[in-house]
Amino acid sequence: MFKKIISAIILLLTLAFIVTPSYLYWDTFHEYGISSKNQDWSNFGSFFGGFYSAAFGLISIFILSSTLYLTLDYNKKQLTQLKSDSIKNLLVHHINSLNEKMNNRQNIFYSPANQRNLHLSENQYIDSLQNRFKINIAVDRENIPNWRFNPIKTTHEVLTDTKISYPEELTVILNILGIINRIKEEQLRNEAINLFSSLTYRNRTYWLVSYAYFNNDEAKECIVKYPKLWALADGLMPEL
C-alpha cells in the first residue's frame, strides 16, 4: 500500500513539473508567435533547462529518499525475522533437550501410604500424582467449609507429600522460562508459549513447571506473568 502511494505521488509530481512550466510559458508568450531569432530560442532553452534541472533534481532526491526508506524498512523487517527465528530455534533446542531428559527420567514417587519410594514408569508416575491430587481434594472437601478448588494449593501439597524433585530438568525449564520472559514483543512471546505447549506433554510438564514455580523466584515471576505456561494436567479438574 505504501509503495503504491509513493508511486502515485511521484507520477503526479512529475506530470505537474512537466506541464506547469510549459503552460505558463505558452500562456505568457504565445501572443508573440514563434520567433526566428537565435537569442529567443536560447532564452527558451535556458528557461526550460533551468527549471527542469531543478525539478528533476528534486524528484531524484525524493525518489532516493523513498528508496532508502523502503530499504531500511525491509532490512529492519528482515532483522526482526532473523531475531525471531533465532529465538524460536534456541527455544526448540531447549525444549528438545527437556523432552529427552523427561524421556530418560527415573520417576521416583514417594508413597505416603507405604512410606517408601516407588520406581514407576512414566504413566504410572503421572497416574499416581493424579490420584494423590484427587485424594487431597477429597480430604479438603470433607474438612473445609465452603471449599473452593485451588489448584495451586493442592499441587503444592502433592509435591510436598510425594517429595517430587526435578534436579536435572530444572535447569532446562529455567532456560526455557528465561527465554520467554525476556521476549518483549507480545506476538513473538505468544508464539513461544504456544511452541512450548505444542512440543511438550502437558501431563508431565505440569508437575515440572509446578516444581519450578515453588522452588525458583524467577520461574515463579515468569509463570505468574504468563499463566498459559502452567496449563492444568488432564484429569486434575474436579467435578464441582
28-44 pLDDT per residue, tens = 666 556 666 666 667 66
* 46 has a pLDDT exceeding 90: no
Residues 138, 28 share a domain = no
0.85 exceeded by the pTM?
no
Residues 109, 75 share a domain = no
Residue 89: inside a domain, yes or no?
no
* Cα(110)–Cα(164) distance, integer angstroms: 8
Residue 136: inside a domain, yes or no?
yes
Residue 96: inside a domain, yes or no?
no
Residue 95: inside a domain, yes or no?
no
Residues 13, 63 share a domain = yes
How many other CB atoms are found less than 10 A from the CB of residue 119?
Answer: 10
Q: Which grid coordinates are listed for 116? A: 517408601
Q: If phi over 0 gives left and psi between -120 and 50 gives alpha, with beta otherwise, what is residue 163?
A: left
Residue 237: inside a domain, yes or no?
no
Count of structural domains, the chain: 2
> 111: which strand partners?
116
Residue 7: inside a domain, yes or no?
yes
Residues 156, 56 share a domain = no
Average pLDDT over residues 46-74: 75
pLDDT score recorded for residue 200: 95
* 10 has a pLDDT exceeding 90: no
* 6 has a pLDDT exceeding 70: no
* Cα(89)–Cα(189) distance, integer angstroms: 14
Residues 114, 77 share a domain = no
Alpha-carbon torsion 8, 13, 14, 19, what sign? positive
Alpha-carbon torsion 143, 144, 150, 156, what sign? negative
- Counting residues of the chain whose pLDDT is more than 90, the rounded percentage is 61
Residues 110, 220 share a domain = yes
Of the pLDDT bands very low, low, confident and very high (cuts 50, 70, 90), residue 177 is very high
How many other CB atoms are found less than 10 A from the CB of residue 61?
Answer: 10
Residues 63, 120 share a domain = no
Average pLDDT over residues 109-134: 93
Q: Which grid coordinates are listed for 217? A: 523466584
* 130 has a pLDDT exceeding 90: yes
pLDDT score recorded for residue 55: 66
> 119: which strand partners?
108
Residues 76, 120 share a domain = no
Residues 60, 152 share a domain = no
Residues 194, 162 share a domain = yes
> 7: which strand partners?
none
Residues 216, 133 share a domain = yes
* 102 has a pLDDT exceeding 90: yes
* Cα(152)–Cα(188) distance, integer angstroms: 28
209-240 burial by CB neighbour count: b if 16+ within 10 A, else e?
A: bbbbbeebeebeebbeebeebbbebeebeeee
Host domain of residue 166: 105-229
End position of a domain, from candidates 45, 66, 81: 81
Residue 144: inside a domain, yes or no?
yes
Residues 138, 75 share a domain = no
Residue 198: inside a domain, yes or no?
yes
Average pLDDT over residues 178-194: 94
